[in-house]
Amino acid sequence: MDYREALKNKKKIVVKVGSSTIVHEETGRVNYDKLEHLVRILCDIKNQGRDVILVSSGAIGVGFNALGLSKRPKTLSLKQACAAVGQGQLMMIYQKIFSEYHQTTAQVLLTKRVLTNDKRRQNVINTFNELMQLDVIPVVNENDTISTHEIEFGDNDTLSAVVASLVEADLLILLSDIDGVYEDDPHNNPDAKMLDTIKNVTDDIMNMAKDSQSLVGTGGMITKFHAADIANSSGCDMVITNGADLNNLQKVLRGENVGTLFVKNKINDFDMKEYLND
């Protein structure tokens, strides 16, 4: 089976964008050029007749800069204050740019605790489905302002996989600061090959992420593998690719060999309630 060719036919897509993709590394401030490019591509994907959900990081960073803080926040309360300021500003930016392409967006803020209740979780699913029926692109983030733990979902990689499971998405694309998954650290091994396809997130695969010498960009790689496990077990393919080139989004949907593809499977069905109650 040509797994890459099958990506051309995906109809419900979740795209996760990390802070490193939408802010300037030197200053931590919003990269408007890249953000505009991202929005334009998402609107074009929507115009192809596909449903799109965007899971976006960046609220704390935007709030941090808006408040003129000299150091990134370390305490939970200050992070929540930055998120409270930054989330509104980030959404305002998204809405302004999306509106230039005549695309309506909606803000959806989630916490793990909201989804532990069957009725509330179903309400979330109903809201997503209704928004997509109305041709709206939901913009999702964790509700950092009211989260009671340091990070409830662990990161937006995991959150995006949970969202993909909730809406029964066909494809999850993680835009990251890495090209994909390598069999060895290419910094130390110039002959290291990037893995094109991973058919099952086995213990051996998970151990690769724990080995700091096995992958480039090891920070957060374990969470990406965990996200792949959730998505794949929910019947959703997942691709990790580099957000430095936003055209990779279109390349993935054209079936081109960019990034690393994690193929959906039903070997171990993802139990949403069991995960949320951990």
pLDDT per position as a tens digit, 2-41: 999 999 999 999 999 988 888 887 777 889 999 999 999 9
The domain in which residue 238 lies consists of: 8-276
pLDDT per position as a tens digit, 150-172: 445 656 898 999 999 999 999 99
- Binning pLDDT at 50, 70 and 90, where does residue 184 land? confident
- Binning pLDDT at 50, 70 and 90, where does residue 216 land? very low
Whether pLDDT at 219 is above 50: no
Answer yes or no: is 133 within a domain: yes
29-33, 57-61, 141-145, 262-266: range with lowest mean pLDDT: 141-145
Answer yes or no: is 2 within a domain: no
- Binning pLDDT at 50, 70 and 90, where does residue 130 land? very high
Answer yes or no: is 95 within a domain: yes
Distance of CA 46 to the CA centre of its chain: 17
Whether pLDDT at 108 is above 90: yes
Answer yes or no: is 15 within a domain: yes
Answer yes or no: is 220 within a domain: yes
Instruction: Quote the pTM value.
Output: 0.90
- Binning pLDDT at 50, 70 and 90, where does residue 221 land? confident
Answer yes or no: is 3 within a domain: no
Mean pLDDT, all residues of the chain: 86
More confident residue, 212 or 135: 135
Quote the pLDDT of residue 99. 98
At 125, which CATH number?
Answer: 3.40.1160.10
Whether pLDDT at 95 is above 70: yes
Answer yes or no: is 1 within a domain: no
- Binning pLDDT at 50, 70 and 90, where does residue 218 land? very low
Express as a percent the part of the chain with pLDDT over 90: 51
More confident residue, 231 or 219: 231
Quote the pLDDT of residue 54. 98
**Residue whose C-alpha is closest to residue 41's, from 9, 13, 20, 6:** 13
Whether pLDDT at 56 is above 60: yes
Q: Look-up: residue for tokens 């993935």? A: 252
Whether pLDDT at 199 is above 70: yes
Q: What's the rounded Cα separation, in Å, for the pair 83 and 90?
A: 10
Answer yes or no: is 82 within a domain: yes
- Binning pLDDT at 50, 70 and 90, where does residue 259 land? very high
Could you give the angle at which helices 156-166 and 221-233 cross, rounded to 10 degrees? Answer: 10
Q: Rounded to 10 degrees, what is the CA torsion of 215, 216, 218, 221?
A: -70
**Number of structural domains found in the chain:** 1
